[in-house]
Structures are given as C-alpha cells and as structure tokens.
Amino acid sequence: MSAVSGASRPQSPSALRKGFARLLRSRELGVFVPLLLISIFFAYQSPVFLTEQNLLNLLRQISLLGVMAIGATFVLIASEVDLSVGSVYGLSGIVTGLLITSGVSDYAALGAILVLGFLIGTANGLVTVYGRIPSFIATLGSLYLIRGLTLVITGGQPVTLEFDANADFLRYIAQGIVFGKVSMQVVILAVAAIIGYVLLHRSRFGFEIFAVGGNEKAAQVIGIRTGKVKILAFGIASLTGALCGAVNFGFIESVQPTNGQGLELDVIAAVIIGGTRLGGGQGSILGTLLGVLLIGVLRNGLVLLGVSAFWQTATIGAVVILAALASATLNRKRA
C-alpha cells in the first residue's frame, strides 16, 4: 500500500515526514535494501555490472518473468496460487507458432492466444471457486493437463517461426528496440507494470482483491462477490503467461513443447521475495518488480563473477528462504 504513498506528492514538511515514515514501514523496503546491497557488491566486484549495456541486457532478461510475476501477484494476494502459468507459457508459444505457420496473421494469433490464456485462467478460477478445491490442486492439475496437451499437439516436436513468415508485429514486440537501445520487452514490462499498478492499487477491483485475500468471509458479508474477484485474478495471471509465451516465441523463433517447465516456481519466488504474503492480503506491484529485479541482479551478477549456473540456482533458493524469514520477522514485530 505504500506504493500509493510513493506516488502522491507530499505538500508540507510534516506530510513529507509522514510519507518517509510510511516508506520506512513499507514491505518494499525489505526487498529494496538487499537489492541495493547486492548491487553495490556486484558493482565493486565486476567493472561490467554497472555498464549501460549490461543493465539494459539485465532488464531485457527479467522482462517476461516480471510480466508473469505481476499477473501472479493478483492471484497470490487473493490468497490463491497458480501453478499452471509455466504450462500456459509453453502452450502459448507452441500455439502462436502453429497458428502463424498455418497462415494466420500474427495479430490474430496474438489476439487468439491472449483470449485462450484468459479462458484457461478463468477455468482455473471456476474449478477452484465452484469446485471448492484448493487452487494448489486445481492448478497443479492444469499444469500437467496443459503441458500434456502441448506435447500431444506437437507430437513432441519443436515449432519454428519460418524465416519468411509474415510475423513482423510479433518480431517487433519481441525483438524490437526503442530509443536506440531499449528492448521492446522492457517496454512491455513497463506497460504491464502500469496497468497492474492501476488495477491492483487504484481500482475497486484491486481493493476487493485485498479484501478477499485478507478475510474472505468478511468480504462476502459486505457483499463482495469473492468468487468473481478470484476468477478474474486467475484470468489475469494466465493472460500474462500466454502473452509472455507468445513474445518469447517471437524472440527465440523456435520453441520446444517443454518450454517453460518450472517457470511457475520462478514466478512465485519473485512475487514472494517481493513481499507478497503467500497467505494473501498483502503485496504490491512495486514489491513484485523489486523481487524480479533482485532475482535478475543475482543471476546477472553471478554470471559476471563466473559462478556456475548450479550455484546461481542454490543462491536464489537461499534468497527465497531469507526473504520469507525477513518478512515473517517483520510481521511479528508489527503485531
């Protein structure tokens, strides 16, 4: 919620002090400080880290993770979880490729895949809400179901974007460069962050997500349609998965049907590191962005230092645990 305070301009010294006090209390600080420290460490250790080229590259690398993490933030704050987003990402790349290969325009393919993504999320939500089963189970099921269908559709073979395929728009949003150096993927992340921020922190729908995640029964009593809110949150999460799968296809131009396996865990890790409470009710877009950035900086910096990929994975694991411990300790102190 402190993201709100950051945006409003303090009018007087006392408002400034209050704003600063809110900033100090904010959950985002818990991820911002480690992010800063780790960045300083890498800056000292590697002359490459702070170069414009490296930072732009780093941002490009985390963009799609960031977009999906924004989607997952909605679901996690609503006190649910979506494990299927990696499978949706995989399916989306494959279907986009197949549609374009079969002559569908890239605009139409993108449109179709976004609708499909949203519908899959809606289905996850419907099963969770009306089937009254934990979303962990419902989306674990769709994780396998969607991945299996992806393998069935492709027969296990990769799908490639033909060199002469008519996919200029897709190539542009995936590979394009703006302002001479910024990847379009970063622009997509920025747009997603703005939309996510407005939806989560400024709209009535976002307000209701926090209410549902904080106390579902009370939300029902005051007349919030909690099922609808949750289904929409699932829809948003899957939509971001589908978008990113398509963009990734446009970027690497050839995807395996197994693409994106385990991605859902990276997404959840980033959101949790960013201070969103797994039990729901707390979190922010700013925090999620910082969480994604922390993961990106860690990976990038460890590569620059020549640390093996195996150790990178272990380090991220340790950071997840530390972040969870830090936020649990903070919460206890506040209580």
Partner 1 sequence: MTPAIHLKNIGKRYGNLWVLRHADFRVDPGTAHALLGENGAGKSTLIKIIAGVHAPSEGTIQIGEADNVSLADAGDAMARGIAVVHQELDLFDNLTVAENIALDSHRKGFFKPARAQMVAEATRVLALLGETSLTPDTPLGQLTTSDKQKVAIAKALGRDAKLIVFDEPTSSLNGHDADQLMELILQIKARSIAIVYVSHKMTEIMRIADQVTVLRDGAVALCAPVTDIDHTQISTAMLGRPAGEIFPERPSAPTDGELALSVKGLAGRNVAGVDFEARKGEVLALAGRPDSGSSETLRLLFGLNAQSAGTISLAGAPYRVRNSRDAVEAGVGYIAADRLREGIMPLQDVLTNVGSVIHLHFGEGGESLRTKSLKAIADLNVKARSPDLPITALSGGNQQKALLARWIAAKPKLLLLDDPTRGVDVGAKQEIYRLIRKLAAGGTTVIYTSSETHELTELADRILLFRDGSIVETFSTVDAETLDHRIAS
Q: How many CB atoms lie within 10 A of CB 201?
A: 17
Residues 162-201, one symbol each (x = binds partner 1 by CB under 8 A, - = not), give: ----------------------------------------
Q: Please select the residue that binds partner 1; options are 140, 207, 228, 307, rule is CB under 8 A.
A: 207
Does 16 interact with partner 1 (rule: CB under 8 A)?
A: no
Q: Any contact of residue 8 with partner 1 (CB under 8 A)?
A: yes
Of 181 and 225, the one with the shorter C-beta distance to partner 1 is 225
From residue 169, how far is each of 91, 132, 190, 246 by CA, in Å?
A: 20, 41, 19, 12
Buried b or exposed e, range 278-293, using 16+ CB within 10 angstroms: eebbbbbbbbbbbbbb
Q: Token pair 């006190």 is at which residue? A: 79
By CB under 8 A, residue 334 contacts partner 1: yes
**Residues for the chain: how many in total?**
335
Residues 112 and 102: their CA atoms lie apart, in Å, by 14
HSE-up of 124 (CA within 13 Å, CB side)? 37
**84 C-beta neighbours (distance < 10 Å), count:** 29
Are the C-beta atoms of residues 295 and 62 closer than 8 Å to each other?
yes
Piece of 49-57, 101-109, 211-219, 312-320 that binds partner 1 (CB under 8 A):
211-219
Measured from the CB atom, the residue of 10 and 131 that comes closer to partner 1 is: 10
Under rule CB under 8 A, which residues in 45-84 are in contact with partner 1?
none
Q: Determine the residue type at 103.
A: G
Instruction: List the one residue out of 146, 134, 5 whose CA is nearest residue 87.
Output: 146
Q: Which is nearer to partner 1, 217 or 321 (CB)?
A: 217
Site string for partner 1, 224-253 (x = CB under 8 A): xx----------------------------
Residue closer to partner 1 by CB (options 185, 282) is 282
Q: List the beta bridge partners of residue 178.
A: 182
Contact residue for partner 1 among 33, 40, 202, 265 (CB under 8 A): 202
Contact range with partner 1 by CB under 8 A, out of 39-47, 123-131, 219-227, 290-298: 219-227
Q: Which residues bind partner 1 (CB under 8 A)?
A: 1, 4-5, 8, 18, 22, 202-208, 210-211, 213-215, 217-219, 221-225, 277, 281-282, 334-335
